[in-house]
Structure 1
Amino acid sequence: MVKIKACCGKRDSGQRETPPQSVVPFSREGKWTRSLPLRKRVSLSIAIIAMVNSTQQHGQSNASSEGPLADSLSNPGSSIEEFHTRASVYEWSPETQGIIFSSISYGIILTLIPSGYLAGIFGAKQMLGAGLLISSLLTLFTPLAADFGVALVIVIRTVQGMAQGMAWTGQFTIWTKWAPPLERSKLTSIAGSGAAFGSFIILCVGGLISQALGWPFIFYIFGSIGCVCCLLWFTVIYDDPVHHPCISIREKEHIMSSLAHQSSSPRRSVPIKAMARCLPLWAIFMGFFSHFWLCTIIITYLPTYISSVLHVNIRDSGVLSSLPFIAASSCTILGGQLADFLLSRDLRLITVRKLFSFLGLLLPSLCAVALPFVASSYMTTIILLILIPGTSNLCDSGFIINTLDIAPRYASFLMGLSRGFGLIAGIISSTATGFLISQDSVSGWRNVFFLSAAVNMFGLVFYITFGQAEIQNWAKERPITRL
């Protein structure tokens, strides 16, 4: 495996060679790029339980001009417990919560495609780092925004989504320059596990923070951590091994020789028409759409589902909601290791991609369909909720990195476009979930999971039918006709 070194120096809270033997089993670059943005999204998922829990706060559906923080500053003797008990609570209906949850996806869509293309031209480090920094700063200001009303929260979340769109696509430009083809499944899956691990941390700790200090501190603490990590990013990360000051000559030669067949020439045009007629590319898009439909529901609504169906407090809800994501992180890493092992045994690349796509879409669908029928069993419900994101993340070794196989020259741009389809699914699923559960909680959740399974099956059939792993003609190294 390739070693990527760091240079020593009212409130919201992707040609076979023998790699060098001295290697490190993870990538700091990849893990950071996947975990930080998701922390900002999951912060709201756990905090909103307290934010809309009117049983904790009577008569404070809106924050006054002199909120808990202002009172605390004017009265240094006030205790943390007093601050917590006076944290604002808002009258946000399930429909409103669905709009708030989906607003971040609207923002990501606005920057996803242009940032992916620009990252491929100008380099990912600066753009990705800026996106992470902006997102972290906005996390700090989210509680204040909630005091001014739900409209400002939606605006803040939308701008935050724009920043996260910059962060998401840049990482794939890095992988096209750092990851040898036979190690891409392993490296990208290890990096991808950072997203699940970040969700695990914030859900596990978020409930405890909310109960001990008040829900605003979920945003203050994780927003501050994000800002510190951004400083480290700008200091130690490099776009490619050529410019890295600390990488060994042997490792640099290994990476560069393994990527020699890939184009590194500047791209001044993108073959849009050829892409639009490419069924293997549409198969990837449909896979993303289906995968993100269910994943978005789990990421945003899991604490709410556990709280409402299992009837537990915010602390226990946070801890229980974090368990599926540690399983997702483990399955992502194991899936990448297994995928590269199968490739080393001369299994066809497309067979591996379709196998992991099959498992990553079918297994979570089965678990989702079973959930409404086991709601009375506490342990069975928790097991199924753990299996959904865990098995779903097997897709990381399937269609999610398939663009690196069929069009490495345009990997960053196409990953942005692919995620755009996923975000559209996320917007629809978040809004639809809020609407369905507002009508009737029991039948609403059943319809949510049945619909998610149906969408997954559509994406699975489409990808199995049209998915490929060969470099497409329009993505090969040759002059491209301008549109």
Structure 2
Amino acid sequence: MEQEDNRPEWGKSVSKVCLLPQRVVLSLMGFFSLICTFTCRVSLSHAITILAISNRTTNSTDDLPEGVCPKEEVTEGGAAYKGLYAWDETQKGIILGSFYFGYIISHLPGGILADLYSAKWVVAFCVGVTGICELLSPIAINLGAYYLIALRVLMGIAQGPIFPGLNGLLSSWVPKKERSTLGTLCFSGSTMGIILSNACSGLLLQYFYWSVMFYVFGALSVIWFIVFVIICTNSPYAHPFIKPTERQYLAETVGNVNKNKPAIPWKPLLISVSMLSLIISQMGHDWGYYVMVTNLPLYMADVIQFSIRSNGLATALPYVAMWIASLVSGVVADWLIRTEKMKLVTERKLFTLLSAFFPGLFMVAASYGGCNKALVVALFTISMLTMGLYYAGQKLSALDVSPSYSSTITAIINGLGSLTGLFAPPIIGLLTPDKNLVQWRIVFWASFLILTLSSIAFWFMGSADVQPYDPMYNKTEKPAENKNK
């Protein structure tokens, strides 16, 4: 019976107005926040395919370059308003890339605000602004490319603090033994957002006027903002609906992370080995992730020669696999930790290594799949499936090493990792001037090496212990020592 008292009692933790514990409600709201922001982020990538006038002069499959597959023969349906704006390839690249200019610069300011003031309001404000930007997108598009670029930069600024803010909320609400399950549930919203954007954008663009897509995604984000502000709080101690048993359980297992928090200890935080390991592994992971997110559709279209319709399905399937794997890996990781079959630090390092080595390996394997479309899609799907383990690995380490300053740490590592979102596309463009299998194989081999080496660095340098600069250091370490005695 004593063992059961130390475990989360889900059935006894529900509030009077909700059947779920409030920490689960918060994690679900984080999940939906990322769905809202990622659908808004990715929607323009789909709209631009019909808004920009195509520069393709022929659909002939004769005289294809060496290493390029025959074009898939399929009759394309679609809207009658294709090609409304004379945006060349350079303009399209600037429009789509402008989001990341804003995204990078707002990470650190947002993380600091979330740590020192209110993670809830940072997340709420940023998702709300994202929704408003999405609603204004049709107006900006009609006004011209410069207005659209400015709006996309603003959306990027709004989205930069969201991951740091969510980490700050999780550090106040989620016990260590539940972080893998609830943390991966929350962060997997980004993957689900990509899936839903790929699936819904095509349908909305096919059956409705193009502006409807922006209004749907924008309105959902604004609705989320209203619900989140009403039902979520910064900590369990301020929540009006939480049941006393859950508040007591969280007080014993999490503590009050927000109470009497001193100024951010910049020097010990920045020079710690654990911080360096997080930066290296984050940048390595993001390189592989952005190669897939940004360039997989291009590879499928330019090299494997999928049709537009098939390309959407082929690029969505790997993310469905990644989303499922992330949820399953979170439950498995918590079980390994709770049953003491694996130490927390070992679990974090192992899942990080697996989520880097196997995705890179199967990327390379896909490049040797030639023009076998089914085989290539299967290999890319396995690649992203194994990348899903990352969410129960390094992605949660900022919560482990510093619960009090997890937002700031996440802001730093996510901001640096996002640089690969700027660097990867032009570097890949230089490596693949002819867009053929041989040139893309070099890209995938390079990604395999970057992913693997960065995860090895995390294996040797990473930590899951609360660091001495964190105010929770003594509060978390000493009780554990007494318990062992």
TM over 0.5: yes
Contact residue 33 and residue 221 of structure 2 kept, 8 A:
no
The within-5 A match list for 1:179-194 is: 179-194=174-189
Correspondent of 2:88 among 92, 96, 107: 92
The answer as to 2:273 corresponding to 1:279 is: yes
Q: Does 1:308 align with 2:302?
A: yes
| 1:261-296 per-position Cα deviation (integer Å, ceiling 9, x unaligned) | x64333342222212221111101111101111212
Deviations 1:342-399 (A, max 9, x none): 1022121110011100111111101111222114111111112222332212111111
AA aligned to 1:318 is G
User: Residue 329 of structure 1 corresponds to which residue in structure 2?
Assistant: 323
| Residue number in structure 1 paired with 2:287 | 293
| Structure-to-structure mapping, 1:449-460, within 5 angstroms | 449-460=444-455
Q: Is contact 1:50–1:314 with CA below 8 Å preserved after alignment? A: no
For residues 296 and 122 of structure 2, the distance between their equivalents in structure 1, rounded to whole angstroms, comes to 31
Q: Aligned residue for 1:104?
A: 99
Distance 1:314 1:104 in 2: 24
Q: 1:390 to 1:50 in 2, by over 3 A?
A: farther
Deviations for 1:200-250, whole angstroms, at most 9, x for unmatched residues?
A: 111012122223335443323222222222222222222222122221111
Contact 2:326 2:391 in 1 (8 A): yes
- For residues 265 and 246 of structure 1, what CA distance do their matches in structure 2 show? 21
Residue 31 of structure 1 corresponds to 31
After superposition, the Cα gap between the structure-2 partners of 1:43 and 1:437, relative to the gap in structure 1 and judged at 3 Å, is farther
Contact 1:57 1:86 in 2 (8 A): no
Corresponding residue number in structure 2 for 1:42: 42
Which shows bigger deviation, 292-301 or 182-191? 292-301
Summarize the alignment of residues 18-417 of structure 1 with structure 2, pairs less than 5 Å apart. 18-22=7-11, 24=20, 27-52=27-52, 54=54, 84-86=80-82, 88-93=84-89, 96-260=91-255, 263-346=257-340, 347-417=342-412
Say whether the 8 Å CA contact 1:107–1:165 is kept in structure 2. yes
Q: Where does residue 63 of structure 1 map in the other structure?
A: none
Unaligned residue ranges in structure 2 (runs of 5+): 14-19, 59-76, 475-485
CA distance in 2 between counterparts of 1:307 and 1:50 reads 15
In the aligned structure 2, how far is the partner of 1:349 from the partner of 1:228? 37
Output the CA distance in 1 between the equivalents of 2:317 and 2:240.
39
Cα distance in structure 2, aligned partners of 1:382 and 1:338: 27
Runs of 4 or more above 6 Å deviation: 55-58
Supply the distance in 2 between the matched residues of 1:57 and 1:37 (Cα, whole angstroms). Answer: 36
CA distance in 2, matches of 1:210, 1:448: 32
> What amino acid maps onto 2:165 in structure 1?
G
* 1:92/1:297 CA distance change after superposition, 3 Å: farther
Aligned-residue CA RMSD (Å)? 2.7
Amino acid at match of 1:32: F
SS at match of 1:395: helix
Q: 1:322 to 1:456 in 2, by over 3 A?
A: same
CA change 1:233–1:444 in 2 (3 A) is farther
- Aligned 8 A contact 1:49 1:303 in 2: no
Q: 1:369 to 1:101 in 2, by over 3 A?
A: farther
Distance in 1 (alpha carbons) for counterparts of 2:84 and 2:153: 22
Compared with structure 1, are the counterparts of its residues 478 and 235 closer, same or farther at alpha carbon in structure 2 (3 Å cutoff)?
closer
Aligned equivalents of 2:51, 2:453: Cα separation in 1: 36
The CA distance in 2 between the partners of 1:199 and 1:145, in whole Å, is 23
How far off its partner does 1:317 sit? 2.4
- CA shift digits 1:288-333 (9 cap, x unpaired): 1011112123223333333333433433322332222221111111
Structure 1 counterpart of 2:417: 422
**Number of residues of Structure 1 aligned to a counterpart in Structure 2:** 440
Letter in 2 for 1:28: L
Deviation at 1:111, TM superposition (A): 1.4
Deviation track 1:7-29 (CA, whole Å, cap 9, x = no partner) reads: xxxxxxxxx93111416466322
Alpha carbons of structure 1 residues 441 and 140: separation in structure 2 relative to 1, 3 Å: farther
**Aligned residues of 1:286 and 1:462 also touching (Cα < 8 A):** yes
Whichever residue aligns with residue 291 of structure 2, its letter is I
In 2, distance between residues paired with 1:311 and 1:241? 52
Distance, in Å, in 2 between the alignment partners of 1:116 and 1:30 is 16
Report the 3-state secondary structure (helix = DSSP H, G, I; strand = E; otherwise coil) of the residue aligned with 2:264: coil
Contact 2:100 2:421 in 1 (8 A): yes
Aligned position for 1:447: 442
Question: Do the aligned residues in 2 keep the contact of 1:133 with 1:227 (CA within 8 Å)?
Answer: yes
Inter-CA distance 20–143: structure 2 relative to 1 (3 Å threshold): same
Going from structure 1 to structure 2, the CA distance change for 1:54 and 1:306 (only over 3 Å counts) comes to: same
What residue identity is the alignment partner of 2:162?
A
